[in-house]
A and B are shown apart, each in its own frame.
Chain A
Amino acid sequence: EVQLLESGGGLVQPGGSLRLSCAASGVAFSTYAMSWVRQAPGKGLEWISAISVSGGRTYYADSVKGRFTISRDNSKNALYLQMNSLRAEDTAIYYCAKDVYDNAGFFDYWGQGTLVTVSS
């Protein structure tokens, strides 16, 4: 069974940093592109970043470009999101999501999410 488990969320002050992790199991992690998708409280889904199978290609939404960095460690079946210069509007549940196939752009498995709250 495919499982994605996010961790690392919490309360952080504006301007602060946080690193999210996503641990994958039950899947050949190194053969799928991965993404981060977030959902602000009571709002819709927002794709924010994707990474290719090898990690050599990364993509970002304009809302996080230059502040967030996606990475992966295929030896550890892990996906990461380094978030810097956090703003109040970054407050959301952050989901990691697995592409249906490499660079498919749509997602068949999602984690349960980790909540990031940016507030002073």
Chain B
Amino acid sequence: DIQMTQSPSTLSAFVGDRVTITCRASQSISTSLAWYQQKPGKAPKFLIFKASSLESGVPSRFSGSGSGTEFTLTINSLQPDDFATYYCQQYNSYSWTFGQGTKVEIK
């Protein structure tokens, strides 16, 4: 199975900051990568697919990039609603796998 590793595990930031989360795959997955946001007690919310394509309705301050084995999720001008845990997920080959998550906390 392809292993997905996110860094950092926890990130502390101020409202208005630009934050970047990294996701690395154990082997090349081309651009078969999605990002999700999850808040406590809630189901994940779909943000980005194909590494950089924003899902409809997702604010443009979210962006994704990367290909192969290294990917990033960037949030420009962090808003109070953005404090949550973020997961990457590869869908290049079964079994689909998620990163362990990155918690974005208020500083």
- B89 x A106 contact (CB < 8 A): yes
Inter-chain contacts of A59 with B (CB < 8 A): 94-95
B34 at the interface (CB under 8 A from A): yes
Contact of A106 among B49, B95, B99 (CB under 8 A): B49
B97 at the interface (CB under 8 A from A): yes
Known: A62-B1, A100-B49, A105-B91. A47 touches B98 (CB 8 A): yes
- A111 x B43 contact (CB < 8 A): yes
- B96 x A44 contact (CB < 8 A): no
CA distance A106 to B55 in the complex (A): 12
Inter-chain contacts of B32 with A (CB < 8 A): 105
Q: How many A-B residue pairs have CB under 8 A?
A: 57
With A62-B95, A112-B43 given, name 14 new contacts (CB 8 A).
A45-B89, A45-B98, A45-B101, A46-B98, A47-B95, A50-B94, A60-B95, A62-B1, A95-B44, A104-B91, A105-B32, A106-B34, A106-B91, A113-B43
Contact of A105 among B43, B96, B99 (CB under 8 A): B96
Residue of B nearest to A103 (CB): B91
A71 at the interface (CB under 8 A from B): no
B83 at the interface (CB under 8 A from A): no
Residue of B nearest to A107 (CB): B46
A109 to chain B, nearest CB (A): 8
B6 to chain A, nearest CB (A): 9
